[in-house]
Structure 1
Amino acid sequence: MAHLEHVNVTVSDPKATTAWLGAVFGWKTRWEGDAISGGYTAHVGDEDSYVALYTPKRPMDDPQHSYTTRAGLNHVGVVVDDIDATESRVKAAGFQPQNHADYEPGRRFYFDDHDGVEWEVVSYA
């Protein structure tokens, strides 16, 4: 069976995003350094999967709404054991949880980070 190894997302500051991902989800930096095409990349996650955080050398355009952009990243879903504790850490990181729902197969909420990336937090516990 196949599994998802990583997702690569362009962000304004990979080091800042790495810091809050570690604080919220307990993820570690697996690798960081110069990107092949220029810019900088950090890989943050666990031993099985990670999020690659990339920033180019050139200034970036303002983001477009992902749900109406072809090949847009709509959200990244993260499964947690304790959704209430995770929500507290999301708030402590300065993000506003929204769109709470409790339906099969689990509880969830969403939040947007400082780059406009939407994150879904879900618990099946």
Structure 2
Amino acid sequence: MPTARLEHVNISVTDADRTADLVARLTGWHRRWEGPSLDNGRSIHLGDDRAYVAIHTSPRITGNFSKSVPMNHIGIAVDDLAAAEAIVSDAGLEPFNHGEYDPGPRSFYFYDWDGIEWEIVCYE
């Protein structure tokens, strides 16, 4: 059977810099590339040497996305859940649904400014 890994996820937001800055603070990832993109827009590829989140914005993107249409959430694993929660709160966003589940990560969720839901997990 072939092996695979997730190489990137592409999301649309109203303010690419704001989203990239938040995700960079949460993860320590860097801007691998940024520049012009579809629909007179701009994209930022934020990640590491193996994977990234493509954060796209254009004049046609107005926000107010509906939950789970078509995506439920984006999950990111961090080493320090309390520090991640502080970053989210400092950005003016509200963490919710704190929990722990099999196979053992502790987690919380938050919605960003565009209504995209993020799950932050910690396996330590």
Aligned to 1:79: 77
Superposed, which structure 2 residues align to 1:11-90 within 5 Å? Answer: 11-58=13-60, 60=62, 62-63=64-65, 65-67=66-68, 69=69, 72-90=70-88
More off after superposition, 78-87 vs 2-11: 78-87
2:121 & 2:14 partners in 1: Cα distance? Answer: 26
1:26 & 1:93 partners in 2: Cα distance? Answer: 16
Relative to structure 1, the CA distance from residue 117 to residue 61 in structure 2 (aligned partners, 3 Å threshold; closer, same or farther) is closer
Percent identical among aligned pairs is: 43
More off after superposition, 50-59 vs 94-103: 50-59
TM superposition shift of 1:66: 2.9
Partner SS, residue 22 of structure 2: helix
TM superposition shift of 1:37: 4.5
Aligned to 2:117: 118
Q: String of CA shifts for 1:22-72, please: whole Å, max 9, x gaps.
A: 122222111000014531111111222111011123353642x232x3xx1
TM superposition shift of 1:21: 1.3
Contact persistence 1:24–1:93 (CA under 8 A): no
Residue 98 (structure 2) pairs with residue 100 (structure 1): yes
- Root-mean-square deviation (CA, aligned residues, Å) is 1.6
Number of aligned residues: 121
Structure 2: gaps of 5 or more residues: none
- Which TM-score applies when normalising by structure 2? 0.88
Relative to structure 1, the CA distance from residue 81 to residue 61 in structure 2 (aligned partners, 3 Å threshold; closer, same or farther) is closer
- Which TM-score applies when normalising by structure 1? 0.87
2:9 & 2:53 partners in 1: Cα distance? Answer: 5
